[in-house]
């Protein structure tokens, strides 16, 4: 099946290298949701155990300075798939509601399209949150187009947005799964529709109480963001979501085992609402949030076991990371134990441009190529995924990509690693925040006063000592770089776009 493909190998993986794979590696990207830097036991967690992710780290390479390219979900996922920061593309820099039109336009150069053209079978399972359909949103009751299939994926089994947003249905390829045409779906994020009970009107019907927002249509005893009617036969059960996504990911691996594949497995865990399967309740020592981490770890273990059963371990690169930093209270009473520091010693949470908002776990395993049990200090973020996959697959990369290949860092060849001049974050929500990293220096500009804060991460990882006045020459340079990188975003002029304060 591969005889017609012209195989090419990047530096360090040439065909004459006896350790080089006979074919290009399979690639699995596991993107967890809202997992913080301190949420895994291999990153120091004490009150939750993650044996499968710990094993992935012990058999691979763990990065200590990896970042999401944004402090929230939609823009991070966009950067992963395009290799370009979302703040360069304002239509995708905000947090998308569940009925948003697709934010990556068909024809955009994407990671799955690049790999598909290079002979890979491509699939996505899990959380999408990048919009669906044309302007005006998707047709939930007909063919959903554009969809991931129009961006390079051969197969998709997804949720449109997040578990706390309507519609609460799965979409396989272009259609809602299990939909009864006699019970059509209607969705609104502007005003209430239909007569289904809401969390605001009927709190007595909630099995999971909300702390803020999340008081609209009740599905499965959980209040959501947005209103929906219909689609009752298609609605998911939150407790079964992790098992459903894991089963679909395993099926993809089984179906495509005889050819190169790329699987983007975007788990919903541990985004709110955190409603793990009952078999996981009480398995951590930090409440429901910790139990959801245990459930996530089990999903990772299931994929690892499948690779072993199919004899695909040796030629599969597995990458695990998170779309942003951790958060405890994100709108429901499913927090757990605050004695568990979800972001370790870092300051800030998801939505913040302090390190806790975007420094995330990042683990890579590729037996025989990546040295096991190692730690890499290379500064990286998701924009680097696309050019890295290009080097692995021999695919050409178009101009305008923000990332660089980190294959040298993955393989322990750090002397050959290209460095970016700086890393830049821009967060549209809550008035717009900006941050820039150059070496160990980190600068943040908050929207409320426009003042620049300056931190030396080498000596102050917790960002507690603002050095802007002590080091004015560095502060001035960092401000100039921020001004150089900044792109005005018209979305910043639209406060109150959605009916409630949304959660990433």
- Give the Cα separation of 364 and 173 in Å (integer): 28
Active site residue 129: yes
For the range 41-49, what are the long-range contacts, defined as Cβ-Cβ under 8 Å and sequence gap of 24 or more? 42/361, 42/363, 43/344, 43/361, 44/344, 45/340, 46/340, 47/284, 47/285, 47/286, 47/290, 47/337, 47/339, 47/340, 48/284, 48/285, 48/286, 48/290, 48/293, 48/294, 48/340, 49/284, 49/294, 49/297
Of 173, 171, 131, 174, nearest to 155 (Cα)?
A: 173
Cβ atoms 324, 32 nearer than 8 A: no
Cβ atoms 344, 357 nearer than 8 A: no
- Give the Cα separation of 32 and 324 in Å (integer): 9
Which of 129, 271, 280, 340 is catalytic? The answer is 129
Q: Which residues fall within 8 angstroms of residue 384, CB to CB, at 6 or more apart?
A: 403, 404, 405, 406
For 454, the 3-state DSSP assignment is strand
Furthest C-alpha separation in the chain: 69
- Output the CA–CA distances (angstroms, integers) from residue 139 to 99, 112, 236, in the order listed: 10, 24, 19
- Give the Cα separation of 228 and 337 in Å (integer): 33
Q: Which residues fall within 8 angstroms of residue 253, CB to CB, at 6 or more apart?
A: 261, 263, 303, 306, 307, 310, 312
Which of 67, 73, 210, 280 is catalytic? The answer is 73
Active site residue 73: yes
Residues with catalytic function: 73, 129
């Amino acid at each position: 099946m591969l005889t017609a493909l012209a195989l090419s190998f990047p530096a360090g993986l040439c065909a004459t290298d006896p350790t080089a794979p006979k074919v290009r590696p399979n690639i699995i990207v596991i993107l967890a949701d809202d997992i913080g830097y301190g949420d895994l036991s291999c990153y120091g967690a004490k009150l939750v155990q993650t044996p499968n992710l710990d094993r992935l780290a012990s058999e691979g390479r763990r990065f200590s300075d990896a970042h999401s390219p944004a402090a929230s979900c939609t823009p991070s996922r966009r950067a992963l798939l395009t290799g370009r920061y979302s703040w360069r593309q304002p239509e995708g820099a905000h947090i998308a509601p569940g009925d948003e039109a697709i934010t990556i336009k068909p024809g955009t150069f994407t990671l799955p399209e690049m790999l598909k053209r290079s002979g890979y079978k491509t699939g996505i399972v899990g959380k999408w949150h990048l919009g669906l359909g044309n302007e005006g949103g998707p047709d939930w009751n007909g063919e959903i187009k554009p969809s991931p299939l129009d961006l390079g994926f051969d197969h998709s089994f997804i949720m449109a947005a997040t578990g706390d947003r309507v519609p609460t249905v799965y979409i396989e390829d272009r259609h809602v799964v299990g939909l009864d045409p006699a019970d059509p779906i209607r969705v609104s994020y502007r005003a209430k529709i239909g007569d289904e009970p809401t969390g605001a009107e009927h709190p007595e019907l909630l099995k999971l109480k909300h702390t803020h927002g999340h008081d609209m249509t009740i599905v499965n005893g959980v209040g959501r963001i947005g209103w929906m009617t219909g689609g009752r036969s298609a609605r998911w059960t939150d407790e079964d979501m992790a098992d459903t996504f894991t089963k679909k990911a395993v099926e993809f691996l089984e179906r495509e085992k005889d050819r190169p594949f790329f699987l983007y497995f975007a788990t919903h865990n541990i985004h709110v609402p955190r409603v793990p399967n009952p078999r996981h309740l009480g398995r951590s020592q930090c409440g429901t949030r910790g139990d959801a981490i245990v459930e996530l770890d089990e999903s990772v273990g299931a994929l690892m076991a499948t690779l072993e059963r199919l004899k695909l371990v040796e030629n599969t690169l597995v990458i695990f990371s998170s779309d942003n930093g951790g958060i405890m209270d994100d709108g429901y009473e499913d927090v757990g134990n605050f004695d568990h520091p979800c972001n370790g010693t870092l300051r800030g949470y998801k939505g913040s441009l302090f390190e806790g908002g975007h420094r995330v776990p990042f683990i890579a395993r590729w037996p025989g190529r990546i040295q096991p049990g190692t730690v890499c200090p290379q500064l990286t973020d998701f924009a680097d995924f696309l050019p890295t996959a290009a080097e692995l697959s021999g695919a050409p990369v178009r101009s305008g990509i923000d990332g660089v290949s980190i294959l040298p860092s993955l393989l322990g060849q750090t002397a050959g690693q290209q460095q970016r001049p700086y890393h830049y974050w821009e967060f549209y929500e809550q008035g717009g925040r900006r941050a820039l990293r150059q070496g160990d220096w980190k600068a943040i500009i908050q929207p409320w006063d426009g003042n620049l804060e300056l931190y030396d991460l080498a000596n102050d990882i917790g960002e507690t000592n603002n050095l802007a006045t002590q080091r004015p020459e560095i502060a001035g340079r960092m401000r100039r770089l921020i001004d150089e990188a900044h792109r005005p975003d018209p979305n910043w002029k639209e406060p109150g776009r959605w009916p409630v304060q949304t959660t990433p």
